[in-house]
Every structure is written in structure tokens, then in C-alpha cells.
Amino acid sequence: MSALPLEGIKILDLTRVLAGPLSAQMLGDLGAEVIKIERPGGGDDARAFGPPYLQDPEGKANNNNSFYLCANRNKKSVTVNIASPEGQDIIRELAKSCDVMMENYKVGDLKRYRLDYESIKAINPGIIYCSVTGFGQTGPYAPRAGYDAILQAMGGLMSVTGHIDGEPGEGPMKVGPSIVDYMTGMNTSIGILSALFHRKVNGGEGQHVDVCLFDTVIASLSHWLQIYLVNGVTPPRRGTWGNGGMPAGVFRATDGELMLVVGNDGQFARTCAVLGAPELATDPKFLKNNDRVVHGKEIMAIFAGLFLKKPVAYWLDELEKAGVPSGPINNFEQVFSDPHVQSRGMRVKVEHPFEPELSLIRNAISFSGTPVKDYRAPPLLGAHTREVLATIGYDDAKVEALKAQKIV
């Protein structure tokens, strides 16, 4: 099998919680050697974000919870107290041989330890140094800490998410998962890979890559935000309604709900036929998609009544035959029971010290020539400290002395 795409790339990862660790995990999946730096004793903040935790074979409390497990596979965990001069020396020594250094500390925090970009650049001019923050390296909010939910609110995402005004439960709503963290992680990976490409192919130098949650969530609003930029009007919350092809939304059947998106006029005509109301397709109010957008409440109400006549499975089968996009509203158990999800191998098994077959979510990218097949479990805290420090000349005696001083 061919080498993985990033084999030979070495990454020093000082990020914590979710956005930065997700990016480092993606790069580790693709073959990079990722050295994760954690605090002695406590480790990554994510380890303390609550249950569920893996069960220790001896029944002891541990810090291997779902939040940490989702973002830290294919890494080596090294414990270093970067607040100590000796710990700072270790980081600088490791950085000398790394291609990338990642951090998500508050702006300016690492400068006092001489671990900021300029300090690291002085010892490794070619390094790609990536900072992941809530609000970026510049601007009046730069010093602030930022978490996903705060940025969902400040970036406008919550203003267009939630039940339609006038419906029960109306008002701004947070997206369930930490979606801004995940998107920021992807942007971080793109930034790092682009900088690596520039350095190697274009003869460029190392550089500082600045990625933040605030920029990411604003950019992610895409066509929703473009509506405001075109006409100065903020789109209303639409609940499950679509913002393009109409009708689009969740419809209740006799035994549950389904999601439907009618993307064009042809699909609308076929949907009307499936619903037993072909005359709707020639009604002047609904003839073209723009007409259906204007008369959205009316057509959605008509469709809602028609879908109530039969069960979900019937509608999904008939819509599939008609070539109209639709799908069930799956819970997580149903997602992983879905034959297509199983065929795509979205659940992978890894060997973990606490769980012989720990389930993880596979990397979402598939390659024909360099497939990602090597998934290593998220490491126990400090599991690779001796191994990694040995590469910079620290023997067992030195490591034991540092452990006694709580430096590693």
C-alpha cells in the first residue's frame, strides 16, 4: 500500500478542547506524526468535560471520556508543564524538528514563555505555526476566550436557527453539536496544508496561520448571509424549511416524520403525483420554484395534509422511485444501523487499553491510492512521553527527574 498523504510530516500539537484537536486528528489520520502536548496530571481540558468515560478494567476513575476520544486518535500524548522553564525548553527542542506547530492559547499567552510564533520561527524558520482562537490574532475581541456556543450566537448562526416565528418554542436556537468547532478544525487543516504546499512547491517560507471560530461561523453562513448582503434583510428562522427549492421541510406521516427537499420544478411535479395531487403542479401559484417560495406557507400546509395519509416507509419508497430527494429522521442508533453507513465503514474499531474494540468515527475522506486504514486509539495521558523525549536526548533518568518535579 502507498504511503499516506502526509507521511513524513511532523506536528507539535499544543491545542486543547475541540477545534484544534480535531484538525490535528485529521492530519494524523492522513499520516502525519502528531505529538500532543498535555498538562501533567490533568491533560487536555476536554478530559474533564464529563461523562461518559471508558470503564477502567480495574474500576478506577479515569479521564478518557467521549469528548476527548472523538478528537485525539492517531496522536502521541506527551506531558509537559509549559509554565516551567524546563518544560519550555522541551517544547522548543521538539519544535526544531517539526514541520508544524499548533496552539490555541489566548492571544499573547505563549509569548511570555517564548513559545510564540516569532520565538519558534527564530529556531525553525521553515515552521508552519498555526494559532486557533475564538476571535483571531487581531481586532478588538482578540484577547477574548471563545467557545462554540458563544460564536454560534455572535456570528449570526443562532439568529437564523430555530422554530419559525409565531410557532411554539420560537426564538434563536443553538445547533446541537459543536459545529463551529468542527468547521474551524477543517479550516485549520486547510490552512496548514496550504502553507505546507506553498513552502514545498512554491519555494515559500514558513508562516503564521491564523484561524478563528468567529471568522469560520460567519463564512459558513454562505447563501443565508449573502441574502443580507444583497438586500439588507436578515432571513427569518425557517425551522426545518429549506432555503432554496420548495417545498422543503419535515413532514409528519401516520407513524413518524420524514425530510423532503423538492429541488426543481420536475421534482415538484413528480412529488405531486406521488401525493395523489398532480393538479398542484399546474396551479399558477406553484408552477415555478419562485412561485412556490412566494406561496411557501400555502404549499407547505397542503403537503402537510397529504403526507398525513400514509406511513413514512410508503412515502420514502414512492419518492425514491420518483427520484425525489427524501429521507428518514434517524436517531444515532438508526444512523449506524443504516446499510449505506455500514457499507461506507463510518464506524471503525480500534484497540484501546480499556476497550479491546473501541468504536470511533472514521475520517470522512476516502482515497483510491492512499486509503486511511491505520486508526490508533486516542492515547492515555502521557503514554508516549518517554518515547518522544528520547528523540531529543532525554534518557530514563532525566525523564524520572522531570517527573519528580512535575515538569513532565
User: Which residues are designated catalytic?
Assistant: 181
Residues 6+ apart with CB under 8 A from 368: none
Chain-centroid distance, C-alpha 160:
20
What the block records as the C-alpha cell of 93 is: 527542542
Query: Cα separation of 355 and 319, whole Å?
Result: 42
Helices (H) and strands (E) in the chain, counts: 16, 11
What burial class does residue 132 get, using C-beta atoms within 10 Å of its C-beta: 0-12 exposed, 13-18 middle, 19+ buried? buried
Region of 358 (left: φ > 0; alpha: ψ -120 to 50; beta: rest) is beta
Query: Cα separation of 236 and 331, whole Å?
Result: 27
What burial class does residue 163 get, using C-beta atoms within 10 Å of its C-beta: 0-12 exposed, 13-18 middle, 19+ buried? middle
CA distances from 146 to 17, 18, 51, 251, 296 (A): 11, 12, 23, 37, 37
Q: Hey, how many other C-beta atoms are within 10 angstroms of the C-beta on 61?
A: 6
Q: Which helix (H) or strand (E) holds 257?
A: strand 257-261
